[in-house]
Amino acid sequence: MPIFVKIAPDLEQAQVDAIAAALTRHKMDGVVATNTTISREAVKGLPHCEEAGGLSGSPVLQASNRVIRELRGALGRDFPIVGVGGIMSAEDAVSKIEAGADVVQLYTGLIYRGPDLVSEAARAIKALRAPRDAQKA
C-alpha cells in the first residue's frame, strides 16, 4: 500500500531538504505538498486575521508552490509530488504543475467554486501537457 507524507508550506529550504532526504531514506512513495499554513502574513489586516488554526485557500498558493519547487529540485524528476494548497482557479492548478507537481488535489477551491473548477483545472492541465506529450511521441 503506497504511503505519501503531507508537509506544511511553512518550511525553510533546509527543512525541505531534510524532509526530502528523509522521504527517500525511508522509501516513502510520495509527498503531498502542502497542508495549511500557520502564517498570517497573507491576511494581515483582514477581519479574523489573528484567529488560530490552519489557513487554507489563496493565502497558501505561493508558499506551497515554493515548497513544491524546492522538493522537485531535491527529489528529482521521478518522485511523486501531489500539489495542494490555494488552488482557486485553473491557473492556480497549472501553477502547481509548473512548480513541479505531478498531480493536484482540489479542496478549498472546490468548496468555494464548485465542480466547474474540476473541469476547468483538468482542461488547463491537459492543455499544458499536450505539447510535452507530442514531443514524446
Q: Domain limits at 90?
A: 4-136
Question: What gap in Å lies between CA 30 and CA 108, rounded to an integer?
Answer: 22
pLDDT of residue 137: 64
Domains of the chain: total: 1
21-36: per-residue pLDDT in tens? 999 999 999 999 998 8
pLDDT tens for each residue of 102-124: 999 999 999 999 999 999 999 99
Q: What CATH number should be reported for the domain holding residue 62?
A: 3.20.20.70
Between 17 and 130, name the one with better pLDDT: 17
To the question of pTM greater than 0.85 for the whole model, the response is yes
